[in-house]
Chains A and B, each alone.
Chain A
């Protein structure tokens, strides 16, 4: 469930863009007219009627993106991100909706905390936000939250993201109870006794650099366990930020067997490997860690064939001083809202590894489907959730360009091709370059 900001809706005409909605089966040069935030016309030479006109010549107009995994750091660490900066960053990244993780301070584990976030989002957010609530109180893995009341108060789903649910017995109860709350249960898969002390993927590079290893099996073991429970209970399950080949294989098998399991993957896991950590740049430190090339290729294949339904940024802002330390004492996490489409377009679409249509689907309809949200679409009668993309724009990722409050991007200094130039979210023009 999304919380839409309380703001006036726009009248717009977007002229002459290549309208590309792979799910609707649209791919042609059209004018799109939006009246009061709703798409009213798709066709040639739409009448402007005094509406604001966006020139789409040479650009692609697609359903706007949905990010199923964002850390808005609110409440508690508003110095790193808040609802305004986070949703502005998302708008600039082409997103019309984002889902915020509950590992804040305090944790979103009661209707009171959730209610205050919903209130603030109505007033402050630039784009619709969904708030996930915790599975366990304080995310301590001991006691279930009041999932029913949280669902009524607007929780978009449930997760203890940042931490695994260690006890299988407790996870089983959460899966059972999610039937009377709001599915899915979204899981961070990490066996802590295997990842303990781990700074990066365990492999050739960690052996040489001397870092404590965080092996693939720390993730895949939990994936297998969690899928087994989901299958037994017949309840939907979503696997957060998958990183390992073995995890993907387990998910594929479970889906083939009819388990209602979905998965997501981040742009960094799709485009970088543990080799990158040789630079010792703390902005390459995240959980789960960058893995080996074989893992990366398996993730791309799973995204292509639909085993993984969604691209998720796992946008995790951190204060500058927290990352300006040796790699080992830096916190896990990198930002990603403002670079996700660009880096995937540059490194996967342009080299021909992933079709543009597939990327657009996995960044929009895919993640919307995971959380049962209405799919952004370019169709008459639909709420306008649109992103205008300049696929040939070349730009350099620099600290000064971010709308996010934090600059811990793993792409600083990179040159990328393709970027969103305008975003319409829930009927409002929220970003125009």
Chain B
């Protein structure tokens, strides 16, 4: 460094890189950080109401979306979020890539790392995949779902949606209904809701509520009537692959629907209903409930875009200083 001529130093050396930050689990966030992200998302949501929706904020940055599982909502919204912020986006899907040829996640990470991406967004069927990518690339890593572990941006967009629609999260009561055992959405959401001061009741068949989950600070009920108390009914997807013959988590989908399906009769008028998608209409949620005016399901998808813009922006502008930034985004 000392050898560089003082006049050209600034040209040659990029500013020092801030410490890398990742978004892997809601458990890693403080309440202040969640509030900051939700505040950022609000600012970005406003920018999305304009005719010209693109912001120059992350011009020159590279975002890689690495998806090892099928996804519509999450992959499309990350891609669009990065594009709205003018980042260069590369989306890699496991099918049709070197993964098909048996490349290990480590090698894929090393390969992608060669392009010096600023952010790697990864979805993977196995818990801990984002940690592995963080170890083997220099990028900020965003977990877009790892196995049954975490799906932090889903929880953030759910918190954002609740906050916008009900005027706050604190002291609300949310009932999460269905297959909690296999749900990363549920794990992230429980942590997010508890962090923000909401209370949570899990409702579902006993084999699909993991033993020991009460330690996360929630109540458990096996009776669908328990949802009536809640301000928000959050319906989880019933994953059909879990219901194969012999799995025996529940005797049949028919019995599941009969006992735990969210139908118009089981909710109060005006009660808010959410679902992370994709829905199985007629299984975990009745079509009438899904399409009702008080359902927030499309609202959730819309929130996803703003929230993912906020996450990308926050990671790349490193932290609390960014809180003041949103107001000046238009001229950034």
Residues of A bordering B, CB below 8 Å: 199, 202-213, 215, 280, 282, 321, 324-329
Top 9 A-B pairs, shortest CB-CB distance: A210-B148, A326-B126, A280-B128, A207-B210, A328-B126, A207-B212, A204-B212, A204-B215, A326-B128
What is the distance, in angstroms, from A246's C-beta to the closest C-beta of chain B?
A: 15
A207 to B104 alpha-carbon distance, docked (Å):
28
Evaluate contact between A202 and B211: CB separation under 8 angstroms.
yes
A210 to B132 alpha-carbon distance, docked (Å):
17
Evaluate contact between B104 and A326: CB separation under 8 angstroms.
no
Contact for B127 among A202, A204, A209, CB less than 8 A: A209
Check: B124 CB closer than 8 A to any chain A CB.
yes
Which residues on the A side are within 8 Å of B127 (C-beta)? 199, 209-211, 280, 326-328
| Between-chain CB contacts (< 8 Å), 11 pairs | A202-B212, A207-B213, A208-B213, A209-B149, A210-B150, A211-B148, A280-B131, A324-B132, A325-B126, A326-B126, A326-B132
Which residues on the A side are within 8 Å of B210 (C-beta)? 206-207, 213
Check: B187 CB closer than 8 A to any chain A CB.
yes
- Apart from the given pairs A202-B212, A326-B124, 11 other A-B contacts in the complex at a CB distance below 8 Å: A199-B127, A202-B211, A207-B212, A208-B212, A209-B127, A209-B187, A210-B149, A210-B184, A213-B211, A215-B211, A328-B128
What is the distance, in angstroms, from A243's C-beta to the closest C-beta of chain B?
A: 17
CB closest chain-A residue, reference B106:
A324
A205 to B187 alpha-carbon distance, docked (Å):
12
Which residues on the B side are within 8 Å of A209 (C-beta)? 127, 149, 187
Which among B106, B149, B150 has the highest number of chain A CB atoms within 10 Å?
Answer: B149
Evaluate contact between B212 and A203: CB separation under 8 angstroms.
yes
CB closest chain-B residue, reference A324:
B106
Which residues on the A side are within 8 Å of B147 (C-beta)? 210, 326, 328
Check: B105 CB closer than 8 A to any chain A CB.
yes
Mark interface residues in B157-188 (1 if CB within 8 Å of A CB, else 0): 00000000000000000000000000010010
Which among B150, B210, B211, B216 has the highest number of chain A CB atoms within 10 Å?
Answer: B210
What is the distance, in angstroms, from B317's C-beta to the closest C-beta of chain A?
A: 28
Evaluate contact between A321 and B104: CB separation under 8 angstroms.
yes
Mark interface residues in B92-133 (1 if CB within 8 Å of A CB, else 0): 000000000000111000000000000000001011110110
What is the distance, in angstroms, from B29's C-beta to the closest C-beta of chain A?
A: 15
Which residues on the B side are within 8 Å of A328 (C-beta)? 126-128, 147
Evaluate contact between A210 and B106: CB separation under 8 angstroms.
no
Which residues on the B side are within 8 Å of A207 (C-beta)? 210-213, 215-216
What is the distance, in angstroms, from B141's C-beta to the closest C-beta of chain A?
A: 13
Evaluate contact between B132 and A325: CB separation under 8 angstroms.
yes
Which residues on the B side are within 8 Å of A208 (C-beta)? 27, 187, 212-213, 215-216
Mark interface residues in B258-292 (1 if CB within 8 Å of A CB, else 0): 00000000000000000000000000000000000
Which residues on the B side are within 8 Å of A202 (C-beta)? 211-212
What is the distance, in angstroms, from A407's C-beta to the closest C-beta of chain B?
A: 15
What is the distance, in angstroms, from A376's C-beta to the closest C-beta of chain B?
A: 42
Evaluate contact between A326 and B129: CB separation under 8 angstroms.
yes
Contact for B106 among A199, A205, A211, A325, CB less than 8 A: A325
Evaluate contact between B212 and A206: CB separation under 8 angstroms.
yes
Mark interface residues in B231-247 (1 if CB within 8 Å of A CB, else 0): 00000000000000000
Mark interface residues in B209-229 (1 if CB within 8 Å of A CB, else 0): 011110110000000000000
A280 to B126 alpha-carbon distance, docked (Å):
11
Which among A199, A208, A213, A324 has the highest number of chain B CB atoms within 10 Å?
Answer: A208
CB closest chain-A residue, reference B149:
A210
What is the distance, in angstroms, from A326's C-beta to the closest C-beta of chain B?
A: 4
A302 to B30 alpha-carbon distance, docked (Å):
42
What is the distance, in angstroms, from A196's C-beta to the closest C-beta of chain B?
A: 10
What is the distance, in angstroms, from A175's C-beta to the closest C-beta of chain B?
A: 32
Which residues on the A side are within 8 Å of B184 (C-beta)? 210
Which residues on the B side are within 8 Å of A215 (C-beta)? 211
Which among A199, A213, A326 has the highest number of chain B CB atoms within 10 Å?
Answer: A326
Which residues on the A side are within 8 Å of B146 (C-beta)? 326
Evaluate contact between A325 and B211: CB separation under 8 angstroms.
no
CB closest chain-B residue, reference A282:
B128
Which residues on the B side are within 8 Å of A212 (C-beta)? 148
CB closest chain-A residue, reference B124:
A326
CB closest chain-B residue, reference A279:
B131
Contact for B105 among A213, A280, A325, CB less than 8 A: A325
Which residues on the B side are within 8 Å of A210 (C-beta)? 127, 147-150, 184, 187
What is the distance, in angstroms, from A174's C-beta to the closest C-beta of chain B?
A: 29
CB closest chain-B residue, reference A278:
B27
A42 to B126 alpha-carbon distance, docked (Å):
59
What is the distance, in angstroms, from B94's C-beta to the closest C-beta of chain A?
A: 13
Evaluate contact between A326 and B105: CB separation under 8 angstroms.
yes
What is the distance, in angstroms, from A162's C-beta to the closest C-beta of chain B?
A: 22
A211 to B27 alpha-carbon distance, docked (Å):
16
Those of B1-55 within 8 Å (CB) of chain A: 27
What is the distance, in angstroms, from A148's C-beta to the closest C-beta of chain B?
A: 40
What is the distance, in angstroms, from B155's C-beta to the closest C-beta of chain A?
A: 13
Which residues on the A side are within 8 Å of B132 (C-beta)? 324-326
Which among B27, B126, B187 has the highest number of chain A CB atoms within 10 Å?
Answer: B126
Which among B105, B131, B146, B212 has the highest number of chain A CB atoms within 10 Å?
Answer: B212
A328 to B146 alpha-carbon distance, docked (Å):
10
What is the distance, in angstroms, from B124's C-beta to the closest C-beta of chain A?
A: 7
Mark interface residues in B183-214 (1 if CB within 8 Å of A CB, else 0): 01001000000000000000000000011110
Which residues on the A side are within 8 Å of B106 (C-beta)? 321, 324-325
What is the distance, in angstroms, from B69's C-beta to the closest C-beta of chain A?
A: 13
A419 to B250 alpha-carbon distance, docked (Å):
53
Which residues on the A side are within 8 Å of B126 (C-beta)? 325-329
A282 to B131 alpha-carbon distance, docked (Å):
11
CB closest chain-A residue, reference B132:
A326
Which residues on the B side are within 8 Å of A326 (C-beta)? 105, 124, 126-129, 131-132, 146-147
A190 to B304 alpha-carbon distance, docked (Å):
44
Which residues on the A side are within 8 Å of B128 (C-beta)? 280, 282, 326-328
A210 to B148 alpha-carbon distance, docked (Å):
5
Which residues on the A side are within 8 Å of B148 (C-beta)? 210-212
What is the distance, in angstroms, from B111's C-beta to the closest C-beta of chain A?
A: 15
A66 to B147 alpha-carbon distance, docked (Å):
41
